[in-house]
Chains A and B, each alone.
Chain A
Amino acid sequence: SQTIHQWPATLVQPVGSPLSLECTVEGTSNPNLYWYRQAAGRGLQLLFYSVGIGQISSEVPQNLSASRPQDRQFILSSKKLLLSDSGFYLCAWAGQMIGVFGSGTRLTVV
């Protein structure tokens, strides 16, 4: 079965510091991968999705970027964090009619 690993679970970073969140998938090849951000108790805002190595689509212009260096690895980055980057970040893998999510990273920018 497909599993998705996301880390770290929580992160506190100062404003202006860099960010790197990593997500890896097991049990499937050439997955469609997604990064979302979620405000407290609300819906998921799609940030980036990738259909293959080096192929990244950005949904929302912002202070973040994504990369896919390997088939089952998806990385969310920032060079300089802003207070508004705080939130709950989720990585997901999507197959045919199914979506599997990681456990999320709670990012607090202070």
Chain B
Amino acid sequence: TQLLEQSPQFLSIQEGENLTVYCNSSSVFSSLQWYRQEPGEGPVLLVTVVTGGEVKKLKRLTFQFGDARKDSSLHITAAQPGDTGLYLCAGEKLVFGKGTKLTVNP
């Protein structure tokens, strides 16, 4: 089973700050997905990255897939309270990391 390590586990920041969360593995992935989950709901897919070195942008969110396709990062610019949630990465067969719980304080 391919293991995904996410860091940090918890992150609490003020509105307007920038942040980066990471998803790392010793295995190579053909694709990697990022999800956001709010309490009491199922995760919602944000993006899928496929190509090594790929960068995808979703408004204030920037996703990058490592050149070797073993890691990925999510950068949020000017975080807002609405960005609060659990951010999860997933590889093949929908195996997930443990997530980063982000809290953006107003």
Contacts and interface: CB of A to CB of B under 8 A. Distances in A.
Given A49-B94, A97-B50, A44 B43 contact: yes
Interface residues of A, number: 24
Provide the main secondary structure of the chain A interface: strand
Interface string B22-62: 00000000010101000111111100101000000000000
B95 A46 contact: yes
Contacts of A46: 93-96
A98 B88 contact: no
Interface string A1-19: 0000010000000000000
Contacts, number: 57
Interface of B: 1, 6, 31, 33, 35, 39-45, 48, 50, 86, 88, 90, 93-99, 101
**4 residue pairs, one from A and one from B, having the closest CB atoms:** A101-B42, A43-B98, A97-B48, A44-B96
Nearest to B49: A97
A86 interface: no
15 contacts: A32-B94, A42-B99, A43-B88, A43-B96, A43-B97, A43-B99, A46-B94, A49-B93, A49-B94, A88-B40, A90-B42, A94-B93, A99-B90, A101-B42, A101-B43
